[in-house]
Amino acid sequence: MNELSGKHIVLGLTGGIACYKAAELCRALVKEGASVQVVMTEAAEHFITPVTMQALSNRPVYGSQWDAREPNNMAHINLGREADAILIAPASADFMAKLLHGRADELLSLLCLARPAATVPLIVAPAMNREMWANPATRRNVAQLRADGIEVLDVGQGEQACGETGDGRMLEADEILADLVAFFSPKRLAGRQVLVTAGPTYEAIDPVRGITNLSSGKMGFAIARAAREAGAEVTLVAGPVLLPTPRGVTRVDVRSARDMLAAVQNQVDRADVFVATAAVADWRPGTAADQKIKKDGSGETPALRFIENPDILATVAQSPRGQAGLRGEAGGIYCVGFAAESHDLLAHASAKRARKGVPLLVGNIGPATFGKDDNALLLVDAQGASEMPHASKRVLARKLIAEIDRRTLGWVHKK
């Protein structure tokens, strides 16, 4: 999916070694469907050439306010009027100070000052040495830029080109891209808190063996990302999966079903929406051996006794707030369950919805989707069922978030 299809981005580069990341960022923006117009300061050209940025953007690069290519010789006006957003990456400490004071002594700062602020947002990705980032002057500048309505992104932490380590690195291209996609997304869930579970659980037999399932966690992670893009504050309780945490999402890692229940109970009182995507093991061994169980050559297999795990979704759904959410009352928590089935999806999903006592149950065929990037969903509620046709999990997650917003509008939990 091209998440920035139809968007026109002015990508501004200021002086700093992080300009090398701007090349990958430009490539990523184009790959996601955006058209990109690069504007560089003279200092930026000491770190990366306009030829490189022209090749990646497929557009001539601008660098001077006296550029005669514009018929009216007003590049600082024309370029800004055409943009859906101006993204400065990297933004040096000096350039942010310029923005703060309205200085405009070259094309990029002129462009930012002359942009129609009501319709063309300005997004800034800082990049500088850790001491420069921590300097009180920089902190004041960042605070004032945000107060002026400029979107100042976070900085990364780690090794810097100067050899020091700390805050101040420009975010990586994929992180800036995620923030930009989120910036353009409708804020359907602004002011709400969403709790999501994702992935499998692991139930130990002994220190090296256990029972789990094939859930990859991709659907739950996509839902967490979509909820964050929609403006929600999101907590993701994740079983043992190897997936990166979505930008802006608080992640709690767990292992077993009981671990997951404890983490959910620790977070659920603050949540307005609970999406139980995790494939929680139904049973666990009654006891886990302290040491690895060895074969003894007798041909006998160890006797394993299983006990039922707690039902996390039912625990939340049958609580007073869960029941209030089922009735559509303010102060309730809206619970969404998932059912991964192997056959008879509608029948099993409908029965599970009634048994758990949730307003919405989302069904899918587990073997057809585990580990994959796409899915097809069946939404089951008290009125019947509707299908979300086969698509990427990112697309389905956004559609599901829109559906949750539609169903919960008007009774958001009041804090």
- CB distance 393 to 358 below 8 Å: no
- CB distance 358 to 317 below 8 Å: yes
162 is catalytic: yes
Find the DSSP H helices in 86-236.
93-101, 107-114, 130-134, 136-147, 173-184, 218-229
Amino acid at 181: V
Q: Rounded to the nearest 5 degrees, what angle is found at the Cα of 240, between the Cα atoms of 209 and 208?
A: 15
Cα–Cα distance between 164 and 387 in angstroms, integer?
A: 53
Q: How many CB atoms lie within 10 A of CB 262?
A: 16
Q: How many CB atoms lie within 10 A of CB 311?
A: 17
Could you say which of 19, 112, 162, 335 is catalytic? Answer: 162
Q: Which helix (H) or strand (E) holds 103?
A: none
Find the DSSP H helices in 230-344.
257-267, 312-317, 320-326
**What residues are annotated to the active site?**
162
